[in-house]
Structure 1
Amino acid sequence: MSAKRRIFLVAAEESGDRLGGALMAALRARCGDTLEMVGVGGRDMAAQGLVSLFPIEALSIMGLLSIPRKLPMILRRIRETTDAVLARPPDALVIIDSPDFTHRVARRVRAANPAIPIVDYVSPTVWAWRPGRARVMRRYVDHVLALLPFEPQAHRELGGPPCTYVGHPLIQQLDTLRPNALEQARRDASPPVLLVLPGSRRVEIRHHMQVFGETLARLRAEGVPFEAVLPTTAHLRDSVTAALADWPVQPRLVVDDAEKRAAFRAARAALAKSGTVTLELALAGVPMVTAYKGSAFEAWVARRMVRVPTVILANLVIGDSVVPEFLQEDCVPERLLPALRDVLGYTDARRRQVEAFARLDTIMSTGAQSPSERAAEIVLASLRSAAA
C-alpha cells in the first residue's frame, strides 16, 4: 500500500471507543503513516491521533425510555457524521458497536455512495432479538467483525453479511484476571471475598442497589461469613456511596482499575448485574449469581422480543446455562440468597460453574493474533478489495 489510504471510523460510546483505539493501533503498526484515520470517537481513539468530529459523551444512552429525549441531538449527529463521510469519501468506513447510531450512518452512506466498503466491528445482538436485522444488514454492511465465537454461525443461519470471529478484548486481559498463588490462597481463605457488581450506569445503580443490599444483609444474618467488595467507576462513586448509606453490610468500595482487577483475582464469588461483566467473571474463574431489573416497559418489550434461553453472556458463550439468572420479578432477596449461598460454598452448583469456565480459553481462542490484529487484517482486506 504505497499511496496513502483513508479510513473513516465511527464509535459512539466508550466501549466502542476502546475497540476503536486498539484497532487504530493495530492498523498503524501494519501501515505506519501510509494510512490516514479520521472520524468520531473518544479518548482511546484520540490517543491514537483521531480528532473527533464532536464529543461522544452525550450519545451514551441506556434504556428505551431515554431515547426520545435525546432523539433530535442524535439525528443531528447522524447527519453530521454522514455528511463528513460523503464530503471526502474514504477507502473504507468502519462502524463500531452502538448500532442505533452507527447503522443509521452506514445506511445513509451506502445509499449515497455504494462504492465505499463498510465494516461493522461488533455484531448487533441479532441472535437474541430482532433476528430480521441480520438479513437487512446485507444491504449496507460488507463484513461483520464478531466479538463472540457463536456469532458467525448466527449470521449464516439468519442470512446476514459475511461475519468473522476476531475475538473479545477480554481475552487479552487474562493475566490481569487470573490469580497468582498468593491470590488463589486468598480466594480459598475465610472470610471469602464476595464481589458486588450492581452495574456501570446510574439507572442500573438505581434498579439494583436496594435488592443487592438487602440480599447481603440477609446473608450476614444467616451467619455466612464474607468480605464484600464493590468495584465501581469514578463518575459513579457519589451515586453508589449515596445508595450504600442505609446498607447494614458496608462493602469496601474500589474505584481504581488495578484494585478492581486485584479484587477479581481474590474473589470466591460474585453477585452481579447481567452484562459483559459476567464474561469477565467467568474468564477470571469466579462463580456468580446474576440479576437484572429494568423498567416495566423494558421488561414488557424484552418478553416479547428476546429469543434466547438465557441473557447471561457467559452462558451464551459456553453454550450451557450454568450461571443462575434472576430477572425482573425474580430479582428479589428471597431468590438471590440461596443461590449466593451456594456459590460461596463448595457445592455442586459452584463446581459446575468452575468446570464450565475452564472451557472458555479454548472456546474463545484467537490463536497467535490478538482481536485487534485480526480485526485490522480484515479492514485492510476491505481496502485492498476496493482498490482491485
Structure 2
Amino acid sequence: MTRPHVFLVAAERSGDLLGAGLARELRELTGGEIRLSGIGGSAMADEGIVSQTSIDGLNILGWIDGLKAYKRVKQAVAEAVAAIVAAKPDSVVLIDSWGFTLRVARGVREADPSIRLVKYVGPQVFATRPGRAATLAATVDELLTILSFDAPFYAPHGLPVTFVGNPTLERLPTGDGPAFRSRHGIEAEETVLVVLLGSRPSEIRRMTGPFVAGLTRLKAAHPDLRLVMPVADPVADQVDAQIARHPVLAEAVRVAEDEKADAFAAADLALACSGTVVTELATAGVPTVTSYKLGWITWSLVRAFNLLKTPHISLVNIAADARIIPEVIQLSCTGANLAREVDALVTDKPRRDAISERLRAVTETLRGTGQASRRAAEAVLAGLSR
C-alpha cells in the first residue's frame, strides 16, 4: 500500500509552529507510515520537513506592506505551487497566512484539481471581511478551525468545518518562574514586566517608538520595575537592533524563545504587541496590556470601509465579549497611554489577580477538548480516505 503524502505550507512563525505540531501527530498516528514534505521555517525543519522554498519576507500584514512585498510574494507563490504540483501529494494543508496560502491554493487548484486542499486556521471573518468565507469555500475542500465559533460563518457556503481546538493553548509548557528569577538575578519580591515588541519586522518598526516612550515613563515612576524581553528567533536581529538603540530596552533581561515559558511564569504582568503571544500570556494567566498599530493608509482603509466588525482585537476579549485585557490601538497607541494602562496594573495587585483568574477561565473554554494538533492530524487523515 502506498504511503499517503501530505504537503504542509506555512509562511510565518505561528504557522510554522502549528505545522510542526501537526507533523508530529501525523507521524505518530500513522506509525511513521506517511510521507511529509512542505514549506515552512525552523520548527518544521526540526520535524524533518526541509522547506521546498524560503519563507523569508512573507511575514507581512496589511495592504501597504503587502504591496511593498508584492514581487517577493508573487515569486514565493509560484515557487510553492511548482513544488506542490511536482510533488503531487494527496493533500496540501495550508496553514494560516491568509493572503499567501489563498494564492497558493488557487494556483494548485488550477494546475491539479485532484489534489485535496485543507485550510488550517481560517481568516477571522467574525472580526473583518466576512466575504472571505465564501472565497475560502470556493477554493479549498475543508477548513480546520481553532475557534469554536467559526463554523456558522462558513455553513451557508457549504464548506466542511472541523473544530480542532487551539494548539497555542497547549503548546506553551508550564514554566518555572522561581528558577527563571534565580538564573537572571531577579528577587522574589521584585515586579517583573514582560515586554514583547512583536513577531513581524513591520510590527517591531511601528511598536518600538510607543513602547520605548511608555517604558521610559514607567521606569521613571517605578525604578525597581524589572523588564524581561523574550525574543522570537525569526526577528531576533531586528529586536536586538532596537535594544542597542534604546537604553530602556538595554536594561531589560533579554532571553531567547526557549526561555519564554519560564519568563511568563516569572511575570507579574506584560506589555505585548497584539498577536498569538497574547493568547499564550493569557493561558499562563499573565495580566497583559496589548497594543497594535497598522500603517496609516491601511488603517484609513479599514475605517473608510468599516472593515473591523468587532470591538476587540484580542482573541481572549473576543471570546469573552469583554475587555479583560486592556487594548491600546492605533491613534491611542502612545507612550503616555501605554504607561497609564500598565501603571494601573503595577499598582493594583488585587486587579492583576482577578484578571489572571479570568484569563485562565477564558482560555480553558478556548482550548476545546485538548490535543488540538492530534485532532487536526486525525481530520487530515480522515480527509484522505474520503
Common fold: TM-score over 0.5: yes
TM-score of the superposed pair, with normalisation by structure 2: 0.87
* Aligned equivalent of 2:343: 341
**CA 262–323 in structure 1, closer or farther in 2 if over 3 Å, else same:** same
Q: State the 1:179 CA deviation.
A: 5.0
Task: Describe how 1:256-275 pairs up with structure 2 within 5 A.
Answer: 256-275=256-275
**Residues 14 and 276 of structure 2 are in contact (CA less than 8 Å); yes or no, is this contact kept in structure 1?**
no
**Partners of 2:143 and 2:15 in 1: how far apart?**
14
Listed as ranges, the matches of 1:14-163 within 5 Å are: 14-87=13-86, 89-156=88-155, 159=157, 161-163=159-161
Which secondary structure state, in structure 2, belongs to the residue aligned with residue 334 of structure 1?
helix
Give, in angstroms, the shift of residue 154 of structure 1: 3.9
Cα contact 2:91–2:384 (8 A) shared by 1: yes
Residue 297 (structure 1) shift: 1.1
What is the CA distance between 1:8 and its match in structure 2?
2.3
Q: Is the 8 A contact 2:96 2:120 kept in 1?
A: yes
Report the secondary structure of 1:93's partner residue: strand
How far apart, CA to CA, are the structure 1 residues paired with 2:85 and 2:153?
32
Deviation of residue 341 (structure 1)? 1.9
Matching residue's letter, 1:34: E
Q: Which runs of 5+ in 2 are unaligned?
A: none
CA displacement 1:130-179 (0-9 Å, x = unmatched): 110102211122211112333234434x6462222212222223533475
1:244 maps to 2:246: yes
Task: Give 1:241's aligned amino acid.
Answer: I
In structure 2, the partner of 1:287 is 287
Structure 1 range deviating more: 169-178 or 192-201: 169-178
Aligned residue for 2:381?
380
Identity over the aligned pairs, expressed in percent?
37
Q: Name the structure 2 match of 1:222.
A: 221
**Residue of structure 1 in register with 2:321 after alignment:** 319
Q: CA deviation at 1:381?
A: 0.6
CA displacement 1:239-289 (0-9 Å, x = unmatched): 2223323x3x85323232343322211111112221112111111111111
Aligned with 2:35: secondary structure? strand
Question: What is the 5 A alignment of 1:289-304?
Answer: 289-303=289-303, 304=306
* Aligned mates of 2:287, 2:11 — CA distance in 1: 32
Match of 2:163 in 1: 165
Deviations along 1:275-328, one digit per CA (max 9) or x if unpaired, are 112111111111111222232112212323111111112212333221111111
Checking the alignment, whether the CA contact within 8 Å between 1:122 and 1:146 is kept in structure 2 is yes
Other structure's SS at 2:174 match? helix
**How far did 1:29 drift?**
1.3
Deviation at 1:129, TM superposition (A): 1.3
- Asked if 2 retains the 8 angstrom alpha-carbon contact of 1:137 and 1:160, the reply is no
Could you list the per-position Cα deviations for residues 3-27 of structure 1 after superposition, in whole angstroms to 9, with x for gaps in the alignment? 3222222222232222212212211
97-106 or 43-52, larger mean C-alpha shift: 43-52
Taking structure 1 as reference, are residues 181 and 10 closer, same or farther at Cα in structure 2, changes over 3 Å only? closer
Preserved CA contact (<8 Å) 1:187 1:267: no
Partners of 1:106 and 1:220 in 2: CA distance: 48
Query: Unmatched 5+ residue regions in structure 1?
Result: none
Instruction: Tell me how far apart the structure 1 counterparts of residues 46 and 350 of structure 2 sit (CA, whole Å).
Output: 47
- Matched position secondary structure for 1:359: helix
Q: Secondary structure at the match of 2:173?
A: helix
What is the one-letter code of the residue matched to 1:376? A
Instruction: State the match for 1:176 in structure 2.
Output: 174
- Write the letter of the residue equivalent to 1:78: V
The CA deviation at 1:335 is: 2.2
Quick one: structure 1 residues 381 and 197, their matched pair in 2 at CA, closer, same or farther if it must change by over 3 Å? same
Query: Structure 1 CA distance, aligned partners of 2:20 and 2:240?
Result: 29
Aligned to 1:307: 309
AA in 1 matched with 2:129: R
Contact kept in structure 2, 1:201 and 1:236, CA below 8 Å: no
TM-score, normalised by the number of residues in structure 1: 0.87
Query: For residues 91 and 265 of structure 1, do their structure 2 counterparts lie closer, same or farther at Cα, with a shift above 3 Å needed?
Result: same
- Partner letter of residue 341 of structure 1? D
CA deviation digits over 1:208-249, x for unaligned, max 9?
A: 22322222332343357421222224333432223323x3x8
Shift of 1:203: 2.7
Q: Which moved more, 1:316-325 or 1:235-244?
A: 235-244
Change (3 A) 1:364 1:178: farther
Instruction: Give, in whole Å, the separation in 1 of the partners of 2:294 and 2:74.
Output: 26
* Whole-angstrom distance in 1 between the partners of 2:87 and 2:179: 55
Change (3 A) 1:160 1:328: farther
Count of matched residue positions in the alignment of Structure 1 and Structure 2 = 379
Q: Cα distance, 1:361 vs. partner?
A: 4.7
Q: How has the CA–CA distance of structure 1 residues 107 and 333 changed in structure 2, closer, same or farther, with 3 Å as cutoff? A: same
Moved more, 285-294 or 42-51: 42-51
Partners of 1:279 and 1:378 in 2: CA distance: 24
Q: CA deviation at 1:112?
A: 4.1
Q: Which sits farther off after the overlay, 109-118 or 119-128?
A: 109-118
The code of the aligned residue for 2:376 comes to A
What's the counterpart of residue 367 of structure 2?
Answer: 365
Worse-superposed segment, 252-261 or 130-139: 252-261
Contact 2:244 2:250 in 1 (8 A): no
The amino acid that maps onto 2:384 is L
| Range that drifts further, 134-143 or 202-211 | 202-211
Provide closer, same or farther for how the CA distance between residues 243 and 31 of structure 1 changes in structure 2, counting only shifts above 3 A: same
**What amino acid is the match of 1:307?**
K
Aligned Cα root-mean-square deviation (Å)? 2.9
